[in-house]
Amino acid sequence: MREPGRCHLDPLGNLHICQGVSLGNVFETPLKEICARYDADAHPICGPLLAGGPAALVTEYNLPHEAAYADACHLCYESRRALRGRFPQILKPEQMYGDENL
């Protein structure tokens, strides 16, 4: 995440560093600008992940959590779901999170 070798572009224009973690939208902001302004350590999601993995999201944002998860990706996903209201421009699109309001 600090120096990504690749990102994914979804049909809605969101540039994902990881599924459901958008760095910006290429229909709204030029790709060059999105890449230039990305600072992994200062990013509200990537920064904690780099500092301590998915558990760091839980501690950084004082999230409720279960005692166990299937794997680190499961904890990350559930933590990001809990943070979607706080970071709607980053944790999108809704389809990535199974939003029933689609």
Domain-located, residue 102: no
Q: Does residue 81 lie within any of the structural domains?
A: yes
Q: Is residue 26 situated within a structural domain?
A: no
pLDDT digits (tens, 9 = 90+) for 22-48: 999 999 999 999 999 999 999 999 999
What are 44-68's pLDDT values in tens digits? 999 999 999 999 999 999 999 989 9
Sign of CA dihedral 41, 47, 50, 51: positive
Separation CA 41–CA 49 (nearest Å): 9
* Domain of residue 59, residue span: 8-21+31-97
pLDDT of residue 102: 44
CA-based max dimension of the chain: 42
Sheet of 14-18, strand order: 8-9, 14-18, 21-25
Q: Let me know if residue 12 belongs to a domain.
A: yes
Cα separation of 54 and 71, whole Å?
10
Distance from C-alpha of 22 to C-alpha of 89, rounded to nearest angstrom: 7
Is 3 among the domain residues? Answer: no
Q: Considering its fold, how many domains does the chain have in total?
A: 1
> Does residue 79 form part of some domain?
yes
Distance CA 4, CA 85 (A): 26
Enter the pTM of the model. 0.89
